[in-house]
A and B are shown apart, each in its own frame.
Chain A
Amino acid sequence: MDSPATPSIGSTSPADAAAAQADLTPFTLDTRGEFSFPENHKYDAGYGLTEQTIDYICDAKGEPDWVRRFRKDALKKFREMPMPTHWAPESIRGVDFDKIRYYLAHGTPPRQSWDEVPDDVKRTFERLGVPEQERAFLAGVDAQYDSETAYNNMQEELRKKGVIFVNSTEGLRDYEHIFRPWFGKVIPVGDNKFSALNHAAFSGGSFIYVPKGVKLAQPLQAYFRINSESMGQFERTLIIADEGAELMYMEGCTAPKYDSATLHSGVVELVALKGAKIQYVTVQNWATNVYNLVIQRGLAMEDAEIRWIDCNLGSGLTMKYPAVVLQGRRARGEVVSISLAHSGQDQDTGARMIHAAPETTSNIIAKSISIGEGRASYRGEVKVLKGMKGCRNNTECDALLINATSRTDTYPAITVNGNASAVQHEASVSQVDEEQLFYMQQRGLTRAQAMSLAVNGFINDLVQEFPMEYSVELRRLIDLEMEDSIG
């Protein structure tokens, strides 16, 4: 790897920053809902990932030594490990690790109140609808602007309950005793090349701890976006729900369109202790030049429940298989997944359920839509470990093809040790039926409207699992897709 120019912290002076802000060009929003904003970064670690890059990140963040060592060990692993090219979609070969900027940040510390947030950041959030969301119901906001949290507002009520909702830097620095024991335990460094990469280069993301018995009625929410060309976003999230605690976390993304490829490779770890419940909701709508390679895994202890609600609309290549390791007796896991692939997109999504304790149950419902030359694949793994009795899994995956050139594939892997468990897998592939379209058009809907109604109908039962404002957004996005695809 090339060694990058030695980075100097604070290379952009406040005067430069002000000049850059005065030069702000009005943002544009294309029909696909992609945003683009001028770049204005105080920290920039340059291209490529080396020990110096890691030092730069650690210095910029003021991280403790153990984190620095941790990152450097991970870097070694990352270099040693092979790309998963033997099974992954072809286009993963397009990832060029030397052409990625690994750390960009504004340098402003996390803010507590909306008024203190810099204007350009605020404008981004306004475009994305964050303030409204907050007014509506937000209990706490942790919105990520590029690598660093720019806005972090937690309501007094949450703090009183002992809930910790911070970014990864603060989490490891200020709450080491809570987060360190679980950090990198659900998804180890050496799990695969991309987990090693994230362990080395992570920044941003949310660290959350909900104490024993605390049930959060309002969802916690974070907005992620990539605003810099060639910027890798390696967010790192760790959520710990203590015994009997309950929470829902929502993550949504929009990204600007750029010419060169952008890598997004997050790691999300969930820990649901005895009787706890975690729901994690993602709506992903990256620009199509983004590689979205995310590892999400939860650990569910006795009587605990973890649900991943996952929607992938954007990116050029998504590889994401939310997993639940059912570690305690009667633990429950669920994955609800929607993906939409149009021409130029490869949505390789699915789920993994590892039954590591008796009487554990899991449910997977995945629906995909392929448009034009889009390709949507379901890749799943259900494993019942040796000696586990009374485990149950139900898997349903349905694919809808819009055009004859669309493609869908299903790769289920089911391993059941012993015969005291029940596992079932159902899959279907359908096409929007001409009779259906004729019927709807006869009632006055255009072909595009009819198509988008049919597609919305196909995923309707799953969309209902998403929080209200996401479901509205989802339907709108599908309308846009259909308008584009039919023209």
Chain B
Amino acid sequence: MSLIIKDLYARVKDGAEILKGVNLNIPKGEVHAIMGPNGSGKSTLSKVLCGHPDYEVTGGSAEMDGQDLFSLSVDERSRAGLFLAFQYPVEVPGVSNANFMRAALQARLPKEEELDAVAFYKNLRARMKQLGMDPKFTARAVNEGFSGGEKKRNDVLQMMMLDPTYAILDETDSGLDVDALRIVSEGVNAMRAPYRSFLVITHYKRLLDYIRPDVVHVLYNGRIVKTAGYDLVDYIEEHGFDFVKEEHP
């Protein structure tokens, strides 16, 4: 059981090709990190996997536990267990956090089944406490007027509530201060499980110090150009990405 990406090509609709043959294999239970210089296609990869309408797959495949990801709609992928913590979580004015989460969980139940509201709120409050969030956030509109850090935390809260099998964290560390980074990372670590995998996209070592990946990939110019263990993180921290640029001019 794993997320298998084979020779994936994708471009901005009617625009330039960004992914140029990505190959990745993320087995269940593992945490993989993707690093890479700006513009290498990291965020594009996460959006393409989730089905963002701005992008177009031009070649290759992605399978999640044997299921063809690209034959599913955005919401079907989500309900099948794929989650994306956004680089820039979106504001949904007028819709409370609690209602949004309820609707998302309700969407996962069979039509005739009603979400247990009491259990839901109990779970929501417990998770918020775990992430150090003010209980008042349940009534606030999704991400509206949140600081950058609050938005990221809110996305991790959603991840906890939805309990996905494959979670992509797209630069979740950006905008977080040291304390928030620690709390969010602890939350992610608590979710590590044999039935779940993470794909962590980041520029920085500091996140990977908390969420220690099993495998580290470097994405450059639309391709995975290096795959190694945690040592690679230290190497990049010290030397930057010049070595990939030299190897793949």
Within 8 A of A (CB), among B151-191: 158, 162
- Also in contact, A439 and B90, with CB within 8 A (given A444-B79, A445-B104, A453-B100): yes
Select which of A435, A441, A457 is within 8 A of B95 by beta carbon: A457
Complex: A159 Cα to B84 Cα, angstroms = 61
Select which of B54, B78, B89 is within 8 A of A441 by beta carbon: B78
Q: Does A155 contact B (CB under 8 A)?
A: no
Query: Hey, what's the 0/1 contact readout for A146-180 against B, CB within 8 Å counting as 1?
Result: 00000000000000000000000000000000000
Evaluate contact between A442 and B50: CB separation under 8 angstroms: yes
Within 8 A of B (CB), among A426-474: 433-436, 438-447, 449-450, 453-454, 456-461
Evaluate contact between A459 and B94: CB separation under 8 angstroms: yes
- Also in contact, A443 and B94, with CB within 8 A (given A434-B53, A438-B52, A438-B74): no
Least CB separation from B88: chain A residue:
A435
Evaluate contact between B141 and A457: CB separation under 8 angstroms: yes
Evaluate contact between B92 and A457: CB separation under 8 angstroms: yes
Complex: A453 Cα to B83 Cα, angstroms = 20
Using Cβ atoms and an 8 Å threshold, which residues of chain B touch A439? 86, 89-90, 92
Complex: A459 Cα to B95 Cα, angstroms = 10
- Also in contact, A443 and B162, with CB within 8 A (given A434-B53, A449-B103, A449-B107): yes
Complex: A453 Cα to B93 Cα, angstroms = 10
Within 8 A of B (CB), among A335-376: none
Q: Does B108 contact A (CB under 8 A)?
A: yes
Evaluate contact between B95 and A445: CB separation under 8 angstroms: no
Evaluate contact between A454 and B95: CB separation under 8 angstroms: yes
Evaluate contact between A442 and B53: CB separation under 8 angstroms: no
B108 to chain A, nearest CB (A): 6
Evaluate contact between A453 and B52: CB separation under 8 angstroms: no
Using Cβ atoms and an 8 Å threshold, which residues of chain A touch B234? none
Complex: A441 Cα to B100 Cα, angstroms = 11
Using Cβ atoms and an 8 Å threshold, which residues of chain B touch A443? 78, 100, 104, 158, 162
Complex: A440 Cα to B100 Cα, angstroms = 8
Complex: A442 Cα to B100 Cα, angstroms = 12
- Also in contact, A438 and B100, with CB within 8 A (given A444-B75, A449-B107, A457-B94): no
Using Cβ atoms and an 8 Å threshold, which residues of chain A touch B93? 457-458
Evaluate contact between B107 and A445: CB separation under 8 angstroms: yes
Least CB separation from B79: chain A residue:
A444
Least CB separation from A434: chain B residue:
B53
Complex: A461 Cα to B74 Cα, angstroms = 29
Give the most central of B79, B94, B108: most A CB within 10 Å: B94
Evaluate contact between B108 and A456: CB separation under 8 angstroms: no
B227 to chain A, nearest CB (A): 27
Using Cβ atoms and an 8 Å threshold, which residues of chain B touch A459? 94
B161 to chain A, nearest CB (A): 9
Q: Does B71 contact A (CB under 8 A)?
A: no
Q: Does B147 contact A (CB under 8 A)?
A: no
Within 8 A of A (CB), among B86-123: 86, 89-95, 99-100, 103-105, 107-108
Q: Does B73 contact A (CB under 8 A)?
A: yes
Complex: A182 Cα to B228 Cα, angstroms = 86
Give the most central of B50, B77, B95: most A CB within 10 Å: B95
Using Cβ atoms and an 8 Å threshold, which residues of chain A touch B94? 456-461
Query: Hey, what's the 0/1 contact readout for A93-136 against B, CB within 8 Å counting as 1?
Result: 00000000000000000000000000000000000000000000
Complex: A120 Cα to B75 Cα, angstroms = 45
Using Cβ atoms and an 8 Å threshold, which residues of chain A touch B54? 434
A129 to chain B, nearest CB (A): 20
Select which of A434, A436, A444, A461 is within 8 A of B92 by beta carbon: A436
Give the most central of A440, A444, A453, A461: most B CB within 10 Å: A444
Query: Hey, what's the 0/1 contact readout for A173-210 against B, CB within 8 Å counting as 1?
Result: 00000000000000000000000000000000000000
Least CB separation from A460: chain B residue:
B94
Complex: A120 Cα to B89 Cα, angstroms = 54
- Also in contact, A444 and B95, with CB within 8 A (given A436-B90, A457-B141): no
Complex: A461 Cα to B89 Cα, angstroms = 22
A189 to chain B, nearest CB (A): 43
B145 to chain A, nearest CB (A): 14
Within 8 A of A (CB), among B38-68: 50, 52-54
Evaluate contact between A442 and B78: CB separation under 8 angstroms: yes
B119 to chain A, nearest CB (A): 18
B85 to chain A, nearest CB (A): 10
Evaluate contact between B92 and A441: CB separation under 8 angstroms: no
Evaluate contact between B53 and A444: CB separation under 8 angstroms: no
Evaluate contact between A438 and B92: CB separation under 8 angstroms: no
Least CB separation from B81: chain A residue:
A444
Complex: A370 Cα to B95 Cα, angstroms = 19
Complex: A436 Cα to B142 Cα, angstroms = 11
Least CB separation from B85: chain A residue:
A442
Select which of B53, B91, B95, B104 is within 8 A of A438 by beta carbon: B53
Evaluate contact between B103 and A442: CB separation under 8 angstroms: no
Using Cβ atoms and an 8 Å threshold, which residues of chain A touch B92? 436, 439-440, 453-454, 457
- Also in contact, A453 and B84, with CB within 8 A (given A442-B78, A444-B75): no
Using Cβ atoms and an 8 Å threshold, which residues of chain B touch A445? 75, 103-104, 107
Using Cβ atoms and an 8 Å threshold, which residues of chain A touch B141? 457
- Also in contact, A442 and B84, with CB within 8 A (given A454-B92, A456-B94, A457-B95): yes
A329 to chain B, nearest CB (A): 36
Complex: A457 Cα to B107 Cα, angstroms = 18
Complex: A371 Cα to B12 Cα, angstroms = 28
User: What would 25 A/B residue contacts be, using CB atoms closer than 8 Å?
Assistant: A434-B53, A436-B90, A438-B90, A440-B100, A440-B104, A441-B78, A442-B75, A442-B86, A443-B78, A443-B158, A443-B162, A444-B79, A444-B105, A444-B162, A445-B104, A449-B107, A453-B99, A453-B103, A454-B92, A454-B95, A456-B94, A458-B93, A458-B94, A459-B94, A460-B95
- 15 new A-B pairs (CB below 8 Å) besides A434-B53, A436-B92, A453-B92? A433-B90, A436-B90, A438-B90, A439-B90, A440-B100, A441-B73, A441-B74, A442-B86, A445-B103, A446-B107, A449-B107, A450-B75, A453-B100, A454-B95, A456-B94
Ranked nearest first, the 4 interchain pairs of A and B with the lowest CB-CB distance are: A457-B94, A460-B94, A439-B90, A457-B95
Residues of B within 8 A of A (CB): 50, 52-54, 73-75, 77-79, 83-84, 86, 89-95, 99-100, 103-105, 107-108, 141, 158, 162
